[in-house]
Copies of this chain bind each other. A is one copy, B any other.
Amino acid sequence: MQLLEERIRRDGKVKEGNVLKVDSFLNHQMDIRLFREIGKEFRRRFAGEEINKILTIEASGIGIACIAAEEFDVPVVFAKKTQTKNIAGDVYKSQVESYTHGRVYDIIVSKEFLGEGDRVLLIDDFLANGKALEGLCELVEASGAQLVGAGIVIEKGFQPGGDIIRSKGIHLESLAIVESMDDQTGEITFRRQEG
């Protein structure tokens, strides 16, 4: 998605340790005009797919998921991150290992809001090692819902998440795939994708 790649080049900051900061428009301050274009692009890439629910994960996936959901005219469910030992009520639960924060946390979703008959699109802002997305896939599987695919705004193509998800046969669409980046020069190279 050219608009997005241009924005990442212009406003993204490449930091040491393969960190790409896009918090001026994606995951701290959020450019809602850009989100609308992102939502339309997800709709285009999953055209023809029957989808009745979008599942995302707090916190930075929620805004993108909500705007995209209007394009699909479906509700959003967000998985909650929790370190609480016991959750009241009936939930699906999965464990996610965070490299960024160096810890393991549970993600949960209420059984009320995900189940058989649901056809689910996953949406998130970033895909790097793929742990969060794998956790969301597990929630969908546990619920008996059908996983239609996953839409990601920025994939770090040099980290293993994308390959892991694609190797499972999941329809993954990443709107921008960073092939490499250089924290010395600030240069970012994107993977070429079919138009």
Binding site for B on A (CB under 8 A): 23-25, 28-33, 35-36, 58-59, 62-63, 65-67, 69-70, 73-78, 80, 109-110, 112-113
Contact = CB atoms under 8 A, between A and B. Distances in A.
Contacts of A25: 75
A29 B77 contact: yes
A165 to B, nearest CB: 24
A120 to B, nearest CB: 12
B113 A75 contact: no
Contacts of A29: 75-77, 110, 112-113
A interface, over-half SS:
mixed
A76 B36 contact: no
A77 B88 CA distance: 31
Contacts of A24: 112-113
B110 A30 contact: no
A77 B23 CA distance: 9
A17 B30 CA distance: 36
Contact of A32 (B76, B110, B113): B76
B70 A30 contact: no
A131 to B, nearest CB: 19
B28 A110 contact: yes
